[in-house]
Amino acid sequence: MEKIIKLEKDDILRLPIYTSEGNPTGEVLEFDLKDIELPIKYQELIERDKKNRDNLQKQFLIIDKKEDVNDGGILSRNEKEKLKLVQEFLKEEVKIYNLFLGENGVEKLLNGSKLRWDSLKMIDKIIEEQIVPHLDFSIERMNEQIKEKYGEEKQEEIEVLE
């Protein structure tokens, strides 16, 4: 008789991606809800996003203090600098979001569209409404399992040792 190992049901959150018309794109975002690093990745997303936005604002303030010169084109020199900064900002945002969403997560959600400023709002909404509730539940369940495994007595022992 062949011996087998039967794995437990996985806790992978799979979110298929559909177009606005309701057609499947063939792409899926996956999150391992038992991964203890997932909440850390989400927290890192929030912190790095804020830092990136603050940096952009600071750079804009620096540019605004410079004398602006129009070289005869559509955009002035300061406007060109700001656009370059926004391009760099958006590239960094993709890296930051993909740390949480997974490889090419942003690209999957854009479904071939270019990243625009309002794209980040759409992605934030998806994360808040469709991923974070599962993440919150996963954290609660993880805390319950820790208490169950180590119990109050064990918890008190751990606190005493600290």
* Interval 110-133: pLDDT, tens: 998 999 879 999 999 999 999 998
CA gap 109, 137 in Å, rounded: 23
Mean pLDDT, range 91-104, rounded to an integer: 97
Higher-confidence position of 79 and 11: 79
Q: How confident is the model at residue 26 (pLDDT cuts 50, 70, 90)?
A: very high
Residues β-bridged to residue 18: 24
- The pLDDT score that the predictor gives to residue 7 is 62
**How many CA atoms lie less than 13 Å away from 81 in the CB half-sphere?**
18
Contact yes or no for 12/20 (Cβ under 8 A): no
Contact yes or no for 11/29 (Cβ under 8 A): no
Q: Mean of the per-residue pLDDT values for the chain?
A: 88
Mean pLDDT, range 61-79, rounded to an integer: 92
- The pLDDT score that the predictor gives to residue 138 is 76
Cα separations (Å) of 15 from 35, 127, 158?
17, 11, 38
**Degrees to nearest 5, angle at CA 141 with 139 and 143:** 70
Closest CA to 55 of 100, 99, 96, 86: 86
**How many CA atoms lie less than 13 Å away from 95 in the CB half-sphere?**
8
Name the token pair of 23: 């057609």
Q: What is the pTM of this model?
A: 0.80
CA gap 111, 105 in Å, rounded: 10
